[in-house]
Amino acid sequence: MSLQVIIVAVIGIVVLVVLVMMFSSKARSFGTATTSCVAKGGHCTADCASNEIEHYGTDCAARAKDDLEDATAKRCCATFYETEKKTETPPPAPAPPATP
């Protein structure tokens, strides 16, 4: 009887360790994804435009260090409002009823 309890306990501990390893690796990739500039709706650039806001703590600085073409693109900038108002054209007026 006690040997069965030990075997079940060992199997339970192994399953628990495997589950913890799976969830910790998923949490690490989730943390990496949330620091991505693209995930925040932005793009890496040297300077933000007047209609953009800078997101701090993103991966732009690390990407700029590895990117030889644009090493100055260290800021994550995302548009926070539209600069031009979009106007909708009104729908056409309904046709007048036909006279009999």
pLDDT digits (tens, 9 = 90+) for 69-86: 455 677 888 887 655 556
Specify which residues 43 forms β-bridges with.
77
SS3 55: strand
Q: What pLDDT, in 10s, does the model give residues 27-56?
A: 665 555 667 888 888 888 888 888 888 888
Q: Looking at the predicted structure, is the pLDDT value of residue 16 above 60? A: yes
- Give the largest Cα separation in the chain, rounded: 99
Q: What is the pTM of this model?
A: 0.42
φ and ψ at 93, to 5 degrees?
Answer: -70, 150
Whole-number mean pLDDT of the chain?
Answer: 76
